[in-house]
Amino acid sequence: MRFAIGDTDFLLDGEPHRILSGAIHYFRVHPDLWADRIRKAKLMGLNTIETYVAWNAHAPSPGVFDLSGGLDLGRFLDLVAAEGMHAIVRPGPYICAEWTNGGLPYWLFADGTVGVRRDEPQFLAAVQGYLEQLAPVLVPRQIDHGGPIVLVQVENEYGAYGSDPVYLTKLEQLHRDIGLTVPFTSVDQPMGTMLEDGSLPSLHKTGSFGSRSAARLERLRQAQPTGPLMCSEFWDGWFDSWGEHHHTTPAEASASDLDDLLAAGGSVNIYMFHGGTNFGFTNGANDKGVYRPISTSYDYDAPLDEAGRPTPKFHAFRSVIERYAPVPPLPASMEPGGSGRLESYDHSSDREARVAPATDLAVRLDRVASLRSLLPTLTTWSAHDEPPTFDALGAASGFVLYRADVDLPTGGVLTVGEEVRDRAIVSADGTVVGVLEREHHDRAIALPPVTGTLELLVEDQGRVDYGPRIGEPKGLVGGVSIDGVPLARWTASPIALDPVPEAALAALLATGPTDGEVLAGPTFAAGSFDLAEPDDRYLCLDGFRKGVAWVNGFCLGRYWSRGPQQTLAIPGPVLREGRNELVVLELHASASRTACLLLEPDLGHTEA
């Protein structure tokens, strides 16, 4: 088959074709659930699936390129093809996506000499290597090779960042050099000169917007007089940041804007069809003067919720789409009020044999071990004249523990030279003194009298994914001084937590049950629970303050009592029939040692 861009339409084997696409990021969805989510997109009336490719997920360190398990992009695309659907692939290299570092590997910028999103030899050489690794996955899966891929996007909203046609031309050529032959696109907001600055004549311009469709398409047509109109990111919701509200948009309003877009003859990619989750330490952040880390949930108020169930937006969008294209019949389970399950992708052993309906489940965390007690199994120490960055230590994310010996008989004021990135728990001889937070521009803290060890446990809360601060290092940036005198002779170690090393996990689980309710952090706590049938659940840690959680070794991501989200999604395939293990790292304190596995999520308060 052939796919082309005509004067007015996309052309599939020479015939006009409208793209009705939905975004599913394979790296935000458990791989056992990919087929379920893709089938549900088809049931809403979509004919195409779009995904970014997260370079840093595949290349967590130099010389590594992982295409296995949840990163098996080829399998994801094959599942799209198996449903008779097409695919749009957006390999970046920059993707934004509210994903850590906008998808760019942290190690690329570790020495500070590599350019970011510009015509710089080291950057382009690294991009070339990345695309060459993707070639065996993408090239044979193009539509003219019998595969599902019909479009490939070059860069991502570049017009909001820069205006460098030389960079874009070289980047486009790198994509062609690996054997990509399908049409290439760009995407930008139809505002100012972004459409012109972010594209080339050889790239088909598309827009990104979520409202005022007619006006946005008119601006797109001004920038591109011929060719099919397309919104490559029809924003049907929005992402959440810690400390803010949960964003929602009325289904009726979004459906009306979608109707306007399709009535104008446009093609669309609904961003997101299914948002998924920022598992582990993968969330991004924004910093436009104030640092704001993205939450773990990427529900996005999408047509499918975080657990893959249809929302009112699913049905509202389906009603719009069926005015313009045929839609398959809905199984009863997908109708309003249904379970939202598809029998062919139901991972339980025998749902018909369920003795009793599932209920919320309390889990007692009765095994406790302080972070300090487990450090021998979590750390690899090195000596430094000044605090090294995460990047210099080879740490993409998570935590780094810094130590220095001090003699302060009358105390003093500790000051970080440039910035704390992103949050530091400061301790003196094992006693927590306070917290320094990038979000509040904290750089200084008063220390009590101490002769002994000063410790700063620094958390990367998410690398900036948008704007000029992409690629910046993490840690105690700019050195540390006490009363104006630089503090030298440090030891530092990353703390390996994704996954938790087996030795640390074994030591924690081997501790005997303990009584009491209070947890004093930083500390690990673990508990076991039994399930008759594994199913999607939501972890509620009411009373806990801030930390990270794992189920059966799978890192669910970060929790934080400030919200908005109050639960963490647990994909059904992570759970087991019978005995399961929950592990929590609480950084501060909890008045409770009981967690709950809920059947419904709590994503927090919405804007009034």
Q: List, in order of start, the domains of the chain with CATH numbers.
A: 14-341 (3.20.20.80), 359-367+499-598 (2.60.120.260), 379-495 (2.60.120.260)
Angle at CA of residue 155, ends 171 and 30, nearest 5°: 125
DSSP 605: -
Q: Tell me, yes or no, if the pTM score tops 0.75.
A: yes
The residue from 50, 98, 172, 233 that is catalytic is 233
pLDDT over 50 at 354, yes or no:
no
Q: Tokens standing for 529?
A: 């629970």
Query: Per-residue confidence at 346, pLDDT binned at 50, 70, 90?
Result: low
Q: For position 192, what pLDDT does the model report? A: 96
Q: Tokens standing for 3?
A: 């796919």
As a whole number, mean pLDDT of residues 190-215 equals 98
pLDDT over 60 at 468, yes or no:
yes
As a whole number, mean pLDDT of residues 155-175 equals 98
Q: Answer whether the bond into residue 499 is a cis peptide, omega within 30°.
A: yes
pLDDT tens digit string along 272-284? Answer: 999 999 999 999 9
Q: For position 514, what pLDDT does the model report? A: 84
Q: For position 516, what pLDDT does the model report? A: 82
For residue 233, indicate whether it is catalytic: yes
Query: Per-residue confidence at 161, pLDDT binned at 50, 70, 90?
Result: very high
User: Cα separations (Å) of 188 from 87, 209, 287?
Assistant: 20, 9, 20
pLDDT over 70 at 408, yes or no:
yes
CB atoms within 10 A of CB 269: 27
pLDDT tens digit string along 244-263? Answer: 999 999 999 999 999 999 99
pLDDT over 80 at 570, yes or no:
yes
Using CA atoms, how far apart are residues 290 and 607, in angstroms rounded to an integer? 20
Using CA atoms, how far apart are residues 83 and 279, in angstroms rounded to an integer? 27
pLDDT tens digit string along 589-598? Answer: 999 999 999 9
* Residues forming beta bridges with residue 165, ordered by sequence position: none
pLDDT over 70 at 314, yes or no:
yes
Q: For position 523, what pLDDT does the model report? A: 96
Using CA atoms, how far apart are residues 382 and 405, in angstroms rounded to an integer? 15
pLDDT over 80 at 350, yes or no:
no
pLDDT over 70 at 347, yes or no:
no
Q: For position 61, what pLDDT does the model report? A: 96
Mean pLDDT of the residues in the chain: 96
The residue from 50, 98, 155, 157 that is catalytic is 157
pLDDT tens digit string along 360-389? Answer: 999 999 999 999 999 999 999 999 999 999
Using CA atoms, how far apart are residues 436 and 456, in angstroms rounded to an integer? 9
pLDDT over 60 at 507, yes or no:
yes
Q: Return the percentage of the chain with pLDDT > 90, whole number.
A: 94
Using CA atoms, how far apart are residues 234 and 255, in angstroms rounded to an integer? 11
Instruction: Write phi, then psi, for 104 (nearest 5 degrees).
Output: -85, 135
Using CA atoms, how far apart are residues 226 and 296, in angstroms rounded to an integer? 41
* Residues forming beta bridges with residue 495, ordered by sequence position: 399
Q: For position 340, what pLDDT does the model report? A: 94
Q: Return the percentage of the chain with pLDDT > 70, whole number.
A: 98
pLDDT over 70 at 488, yes or no:
yes
* Residues forming beta bridges with residue 451, ordered by sequence position: 407
Q: For position 513, what pLDDT does the model report? A: 85
Query: Per-residue confidence at 498, pLDDT binned at 50, 70, 90?
Result: confident
For residue 157, indicate whether it is catalytic: yes
What does the DSSP assignment read for 422-471?
SEEEEEETTEEEEEEEGGGT--EEEE-SEEEEEEEEEEE---B-SSTTTT
